[in-house]
Structure 1
């Protein structure tokens, strides 16, 4: 029996059967290509401008594609269950200090948007981005994806950076409710 299992004919048959099984599964849809995945969004895809106070694009678009789109996606819709959408976000459209604080010190904890729970962790960018960079990317976000927020200036970012310099860890939803 052992001789049969080690014979080249048996090994060839086993290899061919395995190959056909895997190929058959692929044709029946067991393996899904990323482009077929309903949550996959190309992070390099251009955001669609949909009104807003500022024309979409500008210097913030490149920074968004490079830094933010990998989590929030190129269309601003986020990743279900992990990273919340920026499209239509009350945080993005409201008090400018809120998105500035989030970009500077990061975000942690659960957040519920449109009945969906997200529990991702956003890293702080205060040491990697200048005030101009932060202003540019947030202005882009606030004027893209259907958002209608006003532009953010580097001076606003500088003021928030100064007021929050003692914040050592990421914000949670409750702490962002308090005005600066």
Structure 2
């Protein structure tokens, strides 16, 4: 009889990924992370599933573990996965780490900016949302209509609707 460790070593990467995705689909994030700690390699889909689980459960502890595995993976620079990290940290109420992810992203898209603005707005940091909006404009990125609604919400939250920095056409 083959011992469990040897049997696990015989699985190929595809089998391990299928097992990881199945565990995620069953909501077994702790088990997925444990297998990864033992050497299982997550593919892009597994990272998406794990980040969705962390966001849904608002588990900052597990989110940080997923982030660490992602940071060491070949997917660390993927825009969508970094956006999911920002969204997960926002839902967990930790905009400091969300900002670190945002600042370290080699590439951003409109969703990246949107997530930061909504994160600050929803976490009662309207001034920070307005600063991100200003940075976005300075970077030459043209805001979409959804962004304007978020910025107005940030202005209202900060009771700054009539202030100059809440003039959206600057």
- Structure richer in helix, relative to its length: 2
TM-score (norm 1): 0.29
Max Rg structure: 1
TM-score (ref. length: structure 2): 0.30
